[in-house]
């Protein structure tokens, strides 16, 4: 095996000087220089990396969009919370109750201030005006408290930046009908010249209530 003929062109290297170059390689190609095949491989490799960079850019853009959307959603949620504060789960829901049954002395004072403002601001006809003895009429006080609650909502909406019909709706639906009810449907109707003590209607007839309860018991027991 030691007598193999020596190839005078074989130098033991693949790209040694004097070796016949492949047709796609420059004549001057040598070790340490890029051959076209190597360049092609590098270009292919770069193309792969470029696609990866593009993918990263697309991901970054998507993340940026999501971040911006999240910020907008949080801002919107904050505005909604301002309009309607979230119910605290630990906060007990208050029992339904008439304003006159839970109002404090301060509440009565506030309602009187608002009622006097109403009388000064809306120069309604004399027979529609709220009479000064209204605090002695619990039903009238209840109507005025409810009218003020609706006014607050409408007045807040009316100060918004967008045009709306909240205030005119309050005038048409609540202000004038309420004033008419107050003067026409309550005992205050007779208080034009002076206040007359209110009288309370008789309570439920106990005999008739007992009969209704017996009938209900028989109905629900079968
Ligand atoms: Zn009265």
DSSP string, 13-57: SSS-TTSPPPTTS-TT--TTS--HHHHHHHHHHHHHHHHHHHHHH
Same domain? 61 vs 123: no
In a domain, 204, yes or no: no
In-domain check, residue 128: yes
Question: Looking at the structure, do residues 110 and 177 belong to the same domain, yes or no?
Answer: yes
Q: Over pLDDT 90: what percentage of the chain?
A: 54
Shared-domain flag, residues 185 and 112: yes
Domain boundary among 85, 115, 130: 85
CA dihedral 126, 132, 138, 140 (to 10 degrees): 20
116/182 same-domain check = yes
In our burial notation (b when 16+ CB lie closer than 10 A, e otherwise), range 126-160 reads eeebbbeebebbbbbbbbbbebbebbeebeeebee
Distance of CA 67 to the CA centre of its chain: 19
Distance 155 CA to ligand 1 centre (A): 29
As a whole number of angstroms, the distance between CA 81 and CA 189 comes to 43
| Residue 77 clears pLDDT 90, i.e. is over it | no
- More confident position, 37 or 29: 37
Is a pLDDT exceeding 70 seen at residue 14? no
Is the pLDDT at 31 greater than 70? The verdict is no
Same domain as 184, residue 111: yes
Number of structural domains the chain divides into: 2
Sign of CA dihedral 175, 178, 182, 185: positive
Q: How far is the CA of 171 from the centre of ligand 1 (A)?
A: 25
Per-residue confidence (pLDDT) for residue 15, from 0 to 100: 45
Give yes or no: residues 129 and 76 share one domain: no
- Cβ-based neighbour number of residue 186 at 10 Å: 19
- Report, as an integer, the average pLDDT of 135-144: 98
Q: Is the pLDDT of residue 23 over 70?
A: no
Give me ligand 1 centre to Cα 55, in Å: 79
Judge if 71 and 150 occupy the same domain. Answer: no
Residues 110 and 79 grouped into a single domain:
no
Domain-located, residue 211:
no
Say whether pLDDT at 95 is over 70. Answer: yes
Q: Is residue 141 part of a domain?
A: yes
* 140 CB-side CA count, 13 A: 23
- Whether 92 is covered by a domain: the verdict is no
Centroid of ligand 1 to alpha carbon of 127 (angstroms): 14
The mean pLDDT value of the chain amounts to 84
Based on the fold, state whether residues 113 and 45 are members of the same structural domain: no
Nearest to 112 by CA among 151, 153, 145: 145
Task: Single out the residue of 191, 207, 175 nearest to residue 134, CA to CA.
Answer: 191
Q: Answer yes or no: is 175 within a domain.
A: yes
Give the model's confidence band at 143: pLDDT under 50 very low, under 70 low, under 90 confident, else very high: very high
CA of 50 to the centre of ligand 1 (A): 87
Same domain, 46 and 117: no
Distance 200 CA to ligand 1 centre (A): 14
* 8 part of a folded domain: no
Please report, to the nearest 10 degrees, the dihedral formed by the alpha carbons of residues 146, 147, 149, 152 taken in order: 180
Whether pLDDT at 218 is above 80: yes
* Residue pointed to by tokens 């789960």: 89
Q: Is residue 46 domain-shared with residue 124, that is, in the same domain?
A: no
Domain carrying residue 33: 29-85
Q: Examine the pLDDT at 2 and tell me if it is beyond 50.
A: no
- In this structure, is residue 1 part of a structural domain? no
Residue 18 has pLDDT above 80, yes or no: no
* Same domain, residue pair 137 and 74: no
């Amino acid at each position: 095996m030691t007598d193999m003929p020596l190839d005078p062109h074989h130098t033991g290297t693949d790209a040694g000087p004097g070796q016949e170059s492949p047709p796609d390689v420059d004549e001057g190609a040598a070790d340490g220089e890029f051959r076209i095949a190597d360049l092609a491989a590098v270009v292919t490799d770069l193309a792969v990396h470029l696609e990866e960079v593009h993918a990263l850019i697309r991901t970054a853009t998507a993340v940026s969009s999501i971040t911006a959307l999240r910020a907008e959603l949080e801002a919107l949620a904050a505005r909604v919370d301002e309009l309607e504060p979230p119910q605290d789960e630990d906060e007990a829901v208050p029992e339904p109750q008439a304003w006159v049954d839970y109002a404090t002395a301060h509440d009565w004072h506030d309602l009187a201030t608002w009622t006097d403002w109403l009388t000064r601001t809306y120069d309604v006809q004399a027979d529609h005006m709220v009479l000064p003895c209204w605090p002695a009429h619990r039903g009238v006080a209840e109507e005025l408290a409810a009218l003020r609650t609706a006014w607050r909502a409408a007045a807040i909406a009316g100060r918004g930046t967008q045009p709306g019909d909240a205030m005119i709706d309050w005038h048409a639906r609540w202000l004038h009908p309420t004033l008419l009810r107050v003067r026409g449907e309550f005992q205050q109707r007779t208080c034009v010249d002076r206040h007359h003590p209110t009288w309370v209607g008789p309570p439920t007839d106990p005999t008739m209530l007992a009969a209704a309860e017996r009938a209900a018991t028989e109905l629900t027991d079968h």
